[in-house]
Chains A and B, each alone.
Chain A
Amino acid sequence: MLRLERISSGYGRSPVLHEASLEVRSREIVALIGANGAGKSTLLNTVMGLVAVSSGEIFLDERRIEALPTPEIVRAGLAQVPERRQLFGPMSVEENLRLGAYARTDRAAVHETLQEQFRLFPILAERRRQAAQTLSGGEQQMLAIARAMMSRPRLLLLDEPSLGLAPLMVERIMALIRSLRDAGATVLLVEQNARAALGVADRGYVLENGRIAVSGSAARLLEDAAVQDAYLGGQAGGSRAIEERIRSKRRAILGR
């Protein structure tokens, strides 16, 4: 459904992604993991049109979307649950949800979608008039996901949903994501918490310093030492070589 081909992008003066390619097929959960600063959020923001693409293409089915403005991309069927939720704090739960449907042209059906979200997330129905910022971390994450679902997306992009959540809540959110997929959704899940993400995904990609370092089935990646490398460096590969060279320079210059 979604295909990135050799995408390079970045913010202003600072290039972040280097020729990253990945693919998300219909009705699957794809995890994109990697250390901080690797470029995971940048990749999602690039897909949503918030970051300019310097080279490469993005296809949604067969349609090229990398140059489209964000409202167009939303209308084409992509929705993002941003990092750290980015809810409209002072506005109520219901107002936040309605905003999620802003780009929709079938206004009449919005009410129905709203009821659907309330059925899926009863706690949100309970708190519908409360200000979003008064909700707990887990509830806020659910609201953020429901808000994204309001636009009836074909592909849901999740940016670090586990951020700031207690381990128990993380489990619940991951289970929720799996049930969304079971109901027919397609998900691209960006996570720093590799084990949680790979535990729920079908396939995964590992992003390291702006490049796709490893990819494969989620089960296989869970076992792969290369994943640990991507976060803490050290075991093998090109990053080890650079680390070694730096260490030897250290011995030469500082004598320790």
Chain B
Amino acid sequence: MKLRIGLAVFVACVVLYPLALPGQYPLGIGIITGALAAGTVGFVLLLGYAHQLALGQAGFCMVGGYASAILCVNHHWDPLAALLAGALVAMATAWAIAAPILKLRGFVLAMASLALHLILIVVALELPFTGGALGTYGVPKFALFGLPLGSDLAFYYVVWLIVLAFVAAGLAIDRSRVGRALKALAASETAALSAGIDITRYKLQMFVVSAGMASVCGSLAVHYLRAMDPNVFGFAFSLNFITAVIVGGLMSVWGGVVGAAIVTGLREILRGLSLPLWEGVIMGVLTVVVLIAFRRGVAGFISHLYDRLASREAPRASLGDPDGAALSRSGRPAARLEVRGASRSFGALRAVSEVSFAVEPGAIAALIGPNGAGKTTLFNLIGGYQPLDAGSIALDGARIDALLPNRIAALGVGRTFQNLQLFDNMTVLENVMCGTHRHFQAERVNRAKTAAALAFVGLRGAERLHLGELSFGHQRLVEVARALALEPRLLLMDEPASGLNDSETERLAELILRVAALGVTVLLVEHDMRLVMGLADQVVVMHHGEKIAEGAPDAVRRNREVIDAYLGSEHVAA
């Protein structure tokens, strides 16, 4: 519903604008706003979804602008073909720069993109084929499939049609599996990895897509300006992108459109008031204020208002009891985990030292040990969050120790975290649906499996709730459901009882038992001995990085070495 209203308002504004403000000059403003919007929509995907700040977006506008100018003027290409060529070059450049750099911290990309932009400006100034400082002029009007657009009005509509197409693409991404993956990585990269999401790939995809859209922005602008020189897309233009997207609204592609309108509108107002120089200060202040006070920007604010006005008080969701039958034994058998001689050191500290054990398919195993024993490190080694120094870790005989966490997850290893890594920018349903990421199946199927997982853990009815509305114990269940949506063959649980009270702990124990009954191997790290001794088939005890005991719970708790490890050796009592 909100979407239809948004579209209707959009179309109405675009159509009515030239009627409301007739004349050459306002139409030109409309065209430039449209061109900018084409770029800012892409930038929302990069900054708002993938959380990558890029300072040199105008560099890609330059690529598009020069491609259109040079190819059309010097080589008589068709404008549409030149636009596409420019976009391709921009996207290829973006890929080449970002693929290695995204492996470093995010803000490095910001500076790298600025460096690239400034280099392009120098290249444009110095190299002859760009026309140097004077640039290239005489760019023909835009033509659609060979048909030149005679009037500005026609061009205006074409530009906004392209914007609409980009918005549609953005909305499609938002609703898709990719959009969910992006929101997940924005909320918690660790958890996204555990759900099998390849975070670097999606960041790269958004950078490339936004570069292409920026290039289109540049091409369209150049066909209006009929000329291109190095000054058109300077650093100030990159800043326009950033302020437009932030003020317009980071969270949705509509924000890009709204932001473009605001930035251009503001400039015109200031020009009208003979205060053109104030643009920078005002935009800067607006950016800072929006980021501190209302991060979702103007579009977000409008959306928020709509929600407030449109919502009726929803009845308090009553949560169904756990439904053991909701999930059935999957076709795939439970996995066998084998750790052999695993070692990991941090400098002089041997955190894990030659640890070996195996967990049989379908068994429940617990990893225990006093503080500093190395349990968490071992767990992270198994999950792929740390590399092994020596030894091997194998799942059903195939080694997994060199794989990244998302690849291990894709093999069917689910994980929950001690300190809860949930995506707090999503509803319960969306959180759990992220778990289905590794399966390339239809959304309908994803939704069904998610509902089943939620019913299984006892959260049927909680789908639309936001995480803040759930108790800590229930949030823990959401994490388990997310791991179950992955259809795991091995489930790694990191201190699942942490923070739970007695009755919640018992319910958790029952849940873990039912998960094992489904045919899932379970390995838990846990301190709560009631859970460990009650649930486990096999207990592995670590101390000072080594395995000191292994066996059935009762045998382990009577083991002299284990008791000494926990309580301290006899002879120390001075």
Q: Establish whether A and B are touching in the complex (CB under 8 Å).
A: yes
A233 close to B (CB within 8 Å): yes
Task: Report the minimum CB–CB distance from B498 to chain A (whole Å).
Answer: 6
Minimal Cβ-Cβ distance residue in A for B531? A246
Find chain A residues with CB under 8 A from B532 CB: 233
In B552-574, which residues have CB < 8 Å from any A CB? 557, 562-563, 566-574
A198 contacts the other chain (CB 8 A) = yes
Task: Using A13-B420, A242-B505 as known contacts, say yes or no to A193 and B572 having CB atoms under 8 A apart.
Answer: yes
Q: For the complex, is B268 an interface residue (Cβ under 8 Å from A)?
A: no
Contact A253 B517 (CB under 8 A): yes
- Measured between beta carbons, the chain B residues less than 8 angstroms from A196 are 568, 572-573
Interface residues on B, range: 35 or more
CA distance A250 to B349 in the complex (A): 39
Check B399 for interface membership: any CB of A closer than 8 A.
Answer: no
A67 within 8 A of B: no
Q: Which residue of chain A has the shortest Cβ distance to B369 in the bound complex?
A: A36
Sorting the interface of chain A by its residue count into under 10, 10 to 19, 20 to 34 or 35 or more gives 35 or more
Q: How far is the CB of B354 from chain A (nearest CB, A)?
A: 18
Cα A194 to Cα B563 with chains together (Å)? 11
Which residues of chain B are near A239, meaning CB under 8 Å?
A: 529-530
* A192-B370, A233-B530 known; A246 vs B535 contact (CB < 8 Å): yes
Cα distance A38–B370 when bound, in Å?
12
A234 touches B533 (CB 8 A): yes
Chain A interface helix/strand/loop/mixed:
helix
Asked whether A38 lies within 8 Å of B527 as measured between CB atoms, the reply is: yes
**B307 — which chain A residues lie within 8 A by C-beta?**
none
Shortest CB distance A184–B (Å) = 20
Q: When the two chains form the complex, which single residue of A171, A228, A246 contacts B509, counting CB atoms closer than 8 Å?
A: A246
Interchain CB contact under 8 A, A14 and B371: no
Name the contact of A13 in the complex, choosing from B472, B563, B567, B569 (C-beta under 8 A): B472
Known: A14-B420, A193-B572, A254-B516. A245 touches B506 (CB 8 A): yes
Which positions 158-185 of chain A face chain B at CB distance < 8 Å? Answer: 160, 162-164, 167, 170-171, 174-175, 178
Closest-by-CB residue of B relative to A252 is B513
Residue of B nearest to A199 (CB): B573
Interchain CB contact (< 8 A) of A234 among B513, B537, B557: B557
Residues of B that sit less than 8 Å from A by CB: 349, 370-372, 419-420, 472, 475, 495, 498-499, 502, 505-506, 509-510, 513-514, 516-517, 527-535, 537, 557, 562-563, 566-574
In the A-B complex, the 9 residue pairs with the smallest Cβ-Cβ separation, listed nearest first, are A246-B534, A233-B529, A37-B527, A14-B499, A193-B568, A199-B573, A195-B568, A231-B566, A253-B513
Sample of 6 A–B contacts (CB below 8 Å): A163-B371, A163-B372, A164-B372, A194-B567, A200-B574, A246-B510
| A13-B472, A13-B475, A253-B513 known, 11 other contacts, Cβ within 8 Å | A15-B472, A15-B499, A167-B569, A193-B567, A195-B568, A198-B573, A209-B528, A234-B529, A246-B509, A253-B517, A254-B513
